[in-house]
Chain A
Amino acid sequence: GDSVTQMEGPVTLSEEAFLTINCTYTATGYPSLFWYVQYPGEGLQLLLKATKADDKGSNKGFEATYRKETTSFHLEKGSVQVSDSAVYFCALMMDSNYQLIWGAGTKLIIKP
C-alpha cells in the first residue's frame, strides 16, 4: 500500500545551520505531498504542499520539491532558528480518497 518514510529523529542543529529532513514515498498513483509541523503543545499545521512533479512548496523559509523520479519530498531550510524546534511530518494524499498517509515524524531541536 501507499506509505511515507522520513528520517528518524531527533535532529539537533545549531541556530543558523542548514536543515534537510528526508522524506520518500511509495504510491500507486500520483499523490499530492505535504509537510505538516507540530509545535510543542499545539496542533498539526500545514507547512507547505506540492501537487505534481517538480512543484516546489515553500513557506516560512522552508522549501520542498516534489521529485517523481526519486519519489522524494525533502524538507530544507537555509538557516534555522530556535523557534523552528518542532516535530515535522511528511504526508501524502491520493485524489481517490482524500485521506492523509503520514510518516512517523522527525523531531527537530535547534540550539542557540
Chain B
Amino acid sequence: DTGVSQDPRHKITKRGQNVTFRCDPISEHNRLYWYRQTLGQGPEFLTYFQNEAQLEKSRLLSDRFSAERPKGSFSTLEIQRTEQGDSAMYLCASSLTSGRSVEQFFGPGTRLTVL
C-alpha cells in the first residue's frame, strides 16, 4: 500500500459548476477525514467518517458540500454550484481507531481553482 491517494490532483472549474473529488485511504484504516487548506493557513476540518458512517460535520461544510463513504472504503467529496471562495486545497487523511492521539496519514491533496 502506497498511502492515501487523492484524485484529481488539480481541478479548474468555472463558478457554478459541480465538482467531485475522490480519496482512497490506507486499506486497513477505518477513519477517514476531509480538511480544507487555503494559502498561508493551516488545514480546517470539514468532516470525518468511521467506516461508512459520517460522524461529524463542521459548520464550514455548507449545504453545497456533501461527502460519502460507501462501504467504508473510498470517499467522495462533492461541491455543488462552486463559488470562487471554494478555491483551496482539499486534503484527505485516514487513521486507525486505536488509542489516544492516533496518527492521521494525509494524501497529497486536490487543488481546486474556481474561475
Contact = CB atoms under 8 A, between A and B. Distances in A.
B40 interface: yes
Interface residues of B, number: 25
A95 B41 CA distance: 24
Interface string B90-114: 0101010000111111111100000
A102 B42 contact: yes
B65 interface: no
A105 B33 contact: no
B48 to A, nearest CB: 7
Contact of A43 (B40, B42, B95, B108): B108
A91 interface: yes
B43 A93 contact: no
B6 to A, nearest CB: 9
A105 B41 contact: yes
B22 interface: no
A52 B45 CA distance: 23
Interface in B4-46: 4, 31, 33, 35, 40-45
A98 B48 contact: yes
Contacts of A102: 42-44
Given A42-B108, A43-B109, A99 B103 contact: no
B43 A99 contact: no
A91 B42 contact: yes
A4 B41 CA distance: 12
A51 B45 contact: no
Given A43-B106, A43-B109, A97 B100 contact: no
Interface of A: 4, 32, 34, 36, 42-46, 49, 51, 89, 91, 93, 95, 97-105
Interface of B: 4, 31, 33, 35, 40-45, 48, 56, 91, 93, 95, 100-109
